[in-house]
């Protein structure tokens, strides 16, 4: 089944404790991205990657890191989480062949609480 | 600033009603507009994608229209069912934003029997 998976689905942590949220897709997609969703604000893009070893900042990158060492994986790293990073996080992927916008496929989300 | 707005924020209707969800965007220079459905714990599901050159797209009981000049899109749901209850999100790829989606805050729909 074609899908985007994220782990963990739920995470409670404390301020300053490094964490990684994994994202994997099995559709051989070139393009992957991370969004966060906050009440009343909609989803906002954190980082994106057009291909392996190619990443760039989205609209709200502060406090986050990403890497793209393999095409299928795009982990989101919070090196020193803070309470304002409490949010619902989504990973998404698309073919990446059309820069004019393609149907994007989203993972199930990771709900993060930073105490 | 490129923004997407959705109204109403929440909607409750009886089963069987036809309904319209609204989306507006601030810049007419777009590549496409997508409507998503969000169910708790299940992520986002793409419903319809309208390219900038298109006026509407249809899938089953769903019809989405696009009017770039006025910066508006509507999602029409015919003969609503309780299974349609979810949050509906409108997202726009603006020109120059490589595959980056700008989302509205969503409309939370409840269809009651």
> For each successive 10 residues of chain B (113 residues), what is the average pLDDT?
92 96 93 92 88 94 96 97 96 84 95 95
| A48 vs B: CB within 8 A | yes
Antiparallel, parallel or unpaired: β A10-13 and A110-114: parallel
Mutation site for A-interface testing, chosen from B31, B54, B99, B108 by largest number of A Cβ within 10 Å: B99
pLDDT of residue A39: 86
- A4 phi and psi angles, rounded to 5 deg: -115, 125
pLDDT of residue A106: 92
The helix/strand/coil state of A3 is coil
Indicate the DSSP class of residue A100. T
Closest to B9 (Cα-Cα) out of B111, B110, B108, B112: B108
- The three-point CA angle B16-B20-B22 to 5° equals 155
pLDDT confidence bin for A99, thresholds 50/70/90: low
3-state secondary structure chain B: CCCEEEECCEEEEECCCCEEEEEEECCCCEEEEEEEEECCCCCEEEEEEEECCCCEEEECCEEEEEECCCCEEEEEECCCCHHHCEEEEEEEEECCCCCCCEECCCEEEEEEC
pLDDT of residue A42: 86
Closest Cα in chain A, distance from residue B11 (Å): 16
| A107 vs B: CB within 8 A | yes
Task: Give the mean pLDDT of A27-55.
Answer: 92
Residues of chain B contacting residue A33, judged by C-beta atoms under 8 Å apart: 99-100
- Across all residues in chain A, what is the average pLDDT? 93
Residue A97 has pLDDT above 90, yes or no: no
Which distant-in-sequence residues (6+ apart) come within 8 Å of B2 by Cβ? B25, B26, B27, B92, B94, B97, B102
pLDDT of residue A101: 65
Selecting from B32, B89, B104 the residue whose C-beta is nearest the C-beta of A101 gives B32
Closest to A89 (Cα-Cα) out of A114, A115, A53, A54: A114
């Amino acid at each position: 089944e074609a899908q985007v998976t994220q782990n963990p689905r739920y995470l409670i942590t404390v301020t300053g404790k490094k964490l990684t949220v994994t994202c994997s897709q099995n559709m051989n997609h070139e393009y992957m991205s991370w969004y966060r969703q906050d009440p009343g604000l909609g989803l906002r893009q954190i980082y994106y990657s057009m291909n392996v070893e190619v990443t760039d900042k989205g609209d709200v990158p502060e406090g986050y890191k990403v890497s793209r060492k393999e095409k299928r994986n795009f982990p989101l790293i919070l090196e020193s989480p803070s309470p304002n990073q409490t949010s619902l996080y989504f990973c998404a992927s698309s073919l990446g062949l059309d820069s004019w916008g393609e149907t994007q496929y989203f993972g199930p989300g990771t709900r993060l609480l930073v105490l | 600033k490129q923004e997407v707005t959705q109204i109403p924020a929440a909607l409750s209707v009886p089963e069987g009603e036809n309904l319209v969800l609204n989306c507006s965007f601030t810049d007419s220079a777009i590549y496409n507009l997508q409507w998503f459905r969000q169910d708790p714990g299940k992520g986002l599901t793409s419903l319809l994608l309208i390219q900038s050159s298109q006026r509407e797209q249809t899938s089953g009981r769903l019809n989405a229209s696009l009017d770039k000049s006025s910066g508006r899109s509507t999602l029409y749901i015919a003969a609503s069912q309780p299974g349609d209850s979810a949050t509906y999100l409108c997202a726009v790829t603006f020109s120059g934003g490589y595959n980056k989606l700008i989302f509205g805050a969503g409309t939370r729909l409840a269809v009651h029997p």
